[in-house]
């Protein structure tokens, strides 16, 4: 999987990228919103055929975030955007990345559905997903234990026909 736009490039994560990945994941702006994996878990994901672990590089060639997609072997033709982490916020990179991912998935795979979960208190991300055409399906109430209690997750998705309708408008 390789994506290139004027604003960003998406390439496969390598072992040498894992310091960036871990720092981005653990950064104060991100850790309340995304799961925390060990270096070993990220390294295992790099070798898993069902997972695409990708680094996002900005127009200046600097690592600006990463994404993890799963479900490439799903018999249900359902791809999960497991994680999006953007280090350079407020520049439109998250929206550009989501649009590029959605287009790539629906044009390069047989996926019927793309889905994700987002913490219910992450209004910024929910707004980006809604603007991109993802619809809320429901809430998994207090399903993630955190250091402060429990967080709820909103499940959001986009179907191929919804994507195709958006593209034809």
Confidence (pLDDT) at 37: 93
- Give the Å distances, CA to CA, from 145 to 35, 75, 148: 11, 30, 8
Q: What are phi and psi of 122, to 5 degrees?
A: -90, 75
60 with 53: CB under 8 angstroms?
A: no
User: Rounded distance, CA 8 to CA 17, Å?
Assistant: 17
- Domains of the chain with bracketed CATH: 3-168 (3.40.630.30)
Q: For the chain, how many residues are written?
A: 169
Tell me the pLDDT band of 169, cut-offs 50, 70 and 90.
low
- pLDDT tens per residue across span 77-134: 999 999 999 987 777 888 888 999 999 999 999 999 999 999 999 998 999 999 999 9
> At which residue do the structure tokens 């993802």 appear?
134
- Give the Å distances, CA to CA, from 108 to 3, 80, 116: 11, 15, 19
- Does pLDDT of 166 surpass 70? yes
B/e letters for 28-56, b = 16+ CB within 10 Å, e = fewer, are eebeebbeebeeeebeebbeeeebbbbbb
């Amino acid at each position: 999987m390789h994506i290139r736009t004027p604003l960003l490039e998406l390439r496969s994560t390598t072992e040498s990228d894992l310091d960036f990945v871990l720092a981005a994941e653990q950064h104060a702006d991100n850790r309340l919103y995304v799961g925390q994996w060990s270096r070993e878990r990220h390294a295992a994901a790099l070798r898993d055929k069902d997972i695409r672990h990708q680094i996002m590089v900005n127009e200046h060639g600097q690592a600006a975030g990463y994404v993890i997609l799963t479900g490439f072997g799903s018999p249900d033709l359902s791809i999960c955007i497991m994680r999006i982490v953007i280090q350079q916020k407020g520049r439109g990179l998250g929206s550009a990345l989501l649009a590029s991912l959605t287009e790539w998935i629906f044009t390069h795979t047989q996926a019927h559905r793309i889905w994700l979960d987002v913490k219910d208190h992450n209004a910024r991300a929910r707004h980006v997903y809604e603007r991109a055409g993802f619809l809320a399906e429901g809430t998994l109430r207090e399903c993630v234990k955190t250091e402060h209690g429990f967080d709820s997750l909103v499940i959001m998705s986009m179907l191929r026909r919804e994507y195709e309708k958006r593209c034809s408008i």
